[in-house]
């Protein structure tokens, strides 16, 4: 799975101990939606979706 530099930078803002889980969830969503590239916009959309789901 390819990540843009901007998306990788945004991921670095996530605490290191949950970062791998966040990466897996975002990559799983991208795969489900047949995306090969995770850009910052998709990253933000996915994070918002997961935040709503857990609330």
Chain centroid to CA 33: 13
Q: Which tens digits make up the pLDDT trace of 28-50? A: 999 999 999 999 999 999 999 98
Cite the DSSP H helix spans in the chain.
Answer: 5-11, 19-32, 40-54
User: Does residue 32 contact residue 2 with C-beta atoms inside 8 Å?
Assistant: no
Q: Which tens digits make up the pLDDT trace of 6-23? A: 999 999 999 999 999 999
Give me the CATH code for the 2-54 domain, please: 1.10.8.550
pTM greater than the 0.95 cutoff: no
Domain boundaries, the chain: 2-54
pLDDT at 53: 66
């Amino acid at each position: 799975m390819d990540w843009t530099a901007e998306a990788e930078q945004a991921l670095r803002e996530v605490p290191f101990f949950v970062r791998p889980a966040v990466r897996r969830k975002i990559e799983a969503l991208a795969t489900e939606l047949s995306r090969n590239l995770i850009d910052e916009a998709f990253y933000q959309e996915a994070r918002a979706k997961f935040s709503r789901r857990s609330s």
